Amino acid sequence: MIQVHGVSKRFASLVLDDVHLSVPRGSLVGLVGPGASGKSVLVKAITGLVRPDAGRIVVDGQELTSLGELELQAARARFGMLFQQNALFDFMTVEGNVAFPLRRLTTLAEPEIRARARDRLARVGLAGFEDRMPAALSGGQKKRVGIARATITDAPIRLYDEPAAGLDPVTSQKIFDLLREEQRAAGATAIMISSDVDRLLSVVDRIVMMVRGRVVFDGPVDGARSSENAMVRQFLRGETEGPL
């Protein structure tokens, strides 16, 4: 379980403003909101990449906000992260990118690491792509490599930042379905940030909406669709006039 208690963070301006959030174990929560609403910063705070100025973050009973850097590094082994821009190493092959977390975080023998990387690539539909370089991949293929890398350690907590950004509608839906399938198969706890609201709503258990650093809605998908909150209605319907 992920618990965020009263977290605030300021850079040049206030980015997170007294955020409270609870993500039950084994659930997939969609995190939405206008640009610059604090979504990515919140996810980075949950992983310990950003330290909040106030508040507490507790993951599976461990308070991350009280840990030192070495302890945080160990705690991050529980997280799998799919970055918005894929963040693939352009000097590594596809297999090398996927195997990187195992080489960094485990003591597995090299044959086992390579076998796991190839198996994970096959599971995301990229069997035979092991020796290709990222520059030779399409946008959708790069996303799949990112998914394989984010899930290869079978991390119990998974964070996905705009997993379908820039992809066509058919590829986007395949990516969302694949992430949901992987999350369910592993029983993982996951947070997914996406601007593709319609497709996001088709795979998540719950929706959390942020506006200007604050949570303005937290509830089931049906509750979001029927919400009387003007900001939620405007965002989900894509209306240009309203309080946002």
Domain membership flag for residue 18 = no
Question: Which element (helix H / strand E) includes 96?
Answer: helix 94-105
Looking at residue 2, its amino acid is I
Q: How does pLDDT run across 140-168, given as a tens digit for each residue?
A: 888 889 888 888 888 899 999 888 777 78
pTM of the model: 0.85
Domain membership flag for residue 163 = yes
Cα–Cα distance, 117 to 149 (Å, whole number): 8
Give residue 195's pLDDT: 87
Domain membership flag for residue 174 = yes
Looking at residue 98, its amino acid is V
CATH of the domain at 166: 3.40.50.300
Domain enclosing residue 180, as ranges: 27-36+68-202+214-237
Question: Where does 103-220 show beta strands of DSSP type E?
Answer: 157-161, 189-193, 206-211, 214-220
Give residue 240's pLDDT: 67
Mean pLDDT, the chain, as a whole number? Answer: 89
- Neighbour-count burial of 155, counting CB atoms closer than 10 A to its CB (0-12 exposed, 13-18 middle, 19+ buried): buried
Give residue 209's pLDDT: 94
Q: How does pLDDT run across 194-228, given as a tens digit for each residue?
A: 988 888 998 999 999 999 999 999 999 888 888 88
Evaluate whether 42 touches 4 at the Cβ level (below 8 Å): yes
